[in-house]
């Protein structure tokens, strides 16, 4: 077990110099980010929207009302942040704040200098390696730039609440939030992969997800039974259950724990995780050449693979229509994805 009280980064784990977030991102998440960043003027619009949200004010709120991890406060967790940033080669180590809240939760927010917030409920719930997975999960959000887009979702949620008194005032914002929630659910799968890359302990990641679903009595839970539960959730009862699952997810920012458990386990065993550990991964220096059309194709393939693995009757019913929509999307991006037009600008 590495010494978590040392002042030097943990070098017992494989490090990934220059790794691009594209290396571990879920294809649907990656294609959305590449497409967004390739839009002319998107950064300008994002910055103007972020102007409605004072990162300075919210940081001051946590500075005044929580505990900032450092050399003399929550040093163990502070070391986890530094180690995760070192392993994932994040240029700037994010600040981390621990806030008194019994609900197990964590988030990465901010635009210019994103920071991480951990609730005490999560700190108390997890052991060191499980907590490392969660901390690295949040560092992965920062490396992917997710904190910026999650901040956007917070802004839109706030605007929707302010406009709720107007007839149809928040309908458009609600529609945008539904789209952002779909993206964010995929971004959580990406961040779980980052958590695994930095922690390099598959079982700890799975334990953390189980605990977040059922609490700290791990002796009362079983990984295989949890996997069977995930299988039952996927198969559902009939088309009605599949539709209900779809409706239940519309307002959720995170996938259900059983889904995350299976997705993480699948990625850990399907070759993707091992490939990166072996040093075969996309580099940050090549991000400017990322192709929108290629990423859309990768996302389409990921969705098809997911549909083929699923036993959900509802997926079977809508699969034909969804496949048609994916094919149309691929054709559109192939038509407009001319060389020089579909590259991803650094964001």
Annotated catalytic residues are: 138
Give the residue among 189, 346, 317, 324 at the shortest CA–CA distance from 263. Answer: 189
Pairs from 43-46 (Cβ < 8 Å, separation ≥ 24):
43/345, 43/347, 46/148, 46/152
Retrieve residue 219's tokens: 């002796």
Spatial distance between the Cα atoms of 57 and 338, rounded to a whole number of angstroms: 43
Question: Which helix or strand (DSSP H or E) is residue 75 part of?
Answer: helix 75-87
Spatial distance between the Cα atoms of 38 and 344, rounded to a whole number of angstroms: 5
Spatial distance between the Cα atoms of 199 and 240, rounded to a whole number of angstroms: 39
Question: Which helix or strand (DSSP H or E) is residue 226 part of?
Answer: helix 223-235
Could you give the C-alpha distances from 35 to 303, 304, 308, in angstroms and in order? 17, 20, 26
Could you give the C-alpha distances from 45 to 37, 40, 112, 137, 250, in angstroms and in order? 11, 10, 15, 27, 26
């Amino acid at each position: 077990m590495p010494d978590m009280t040392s002042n030097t980064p943990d070098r017992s784990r494989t490090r990934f110099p220059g790794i691009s977030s594209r290396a571990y991102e879920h294809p649907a998440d990656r294609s959305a980010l590449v497409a967004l960043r390739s839009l002319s003027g998107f950064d300008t619009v994002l910055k103007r929207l972020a102007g409605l949200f004072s990162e300075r004010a919210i940081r001051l709120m946590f500075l005044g009302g929580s505990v900032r991890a450092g050399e003399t406060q929550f040093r163990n967790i502070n070391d986890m942040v530094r180690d995760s940033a070192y392993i994932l080669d994040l240029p700037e180590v994010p600040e981390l704040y621990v806030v008194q809240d019994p609900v197990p939760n964590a988030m990465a927010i901010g635009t210019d200098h994103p920071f991480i917030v951990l609730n005490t409920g999560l700190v108390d719930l997890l052991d060191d390696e499980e907590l490392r997975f969660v901390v690295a999960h949040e560092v992965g959000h920062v490396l992917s730039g997710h904190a910026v887009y999650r901040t956007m979702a917070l802004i839109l949620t706030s605007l929707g609440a302010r406009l709720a008194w107007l007839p149809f005032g928040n309908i458009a914002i609600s529609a945008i939030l539904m789209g952002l929630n779909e993206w964010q659910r995929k971004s959580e799968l990406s961040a779980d992969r980052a958590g695994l890359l930095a922690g390099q302990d598959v079982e700890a990641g799975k334990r953390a997800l189980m605990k977040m679903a059922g609490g700290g009595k791990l002796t009362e839970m079983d990984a295989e039974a949890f996997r069977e539960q995930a299988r039952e959730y996927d198969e559902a009862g009939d088309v009605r259950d599949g539709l209900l699952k779809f409706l239940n997810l519309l307002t959720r920012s995170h996938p259900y724990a059983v889904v995350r458990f299976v997705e993480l386990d699948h990625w850990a065993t399907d070759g993707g995780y091992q490939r990166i550990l072996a040093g075969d991964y996309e580099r940050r220096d090549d991000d400017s050449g990322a192709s929108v059309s290629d990423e859309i194709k990768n996302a389409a393939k990921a969705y098809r693979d997911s549909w083929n693995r699923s036993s959900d009757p509802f997926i079977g019913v809508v699969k034909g229509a969804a496949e048609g929509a994916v094919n149309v999307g691929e054709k559109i991006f192939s038509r407009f994805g001319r060389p020089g037009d579909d590259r991803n600008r650094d964001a």
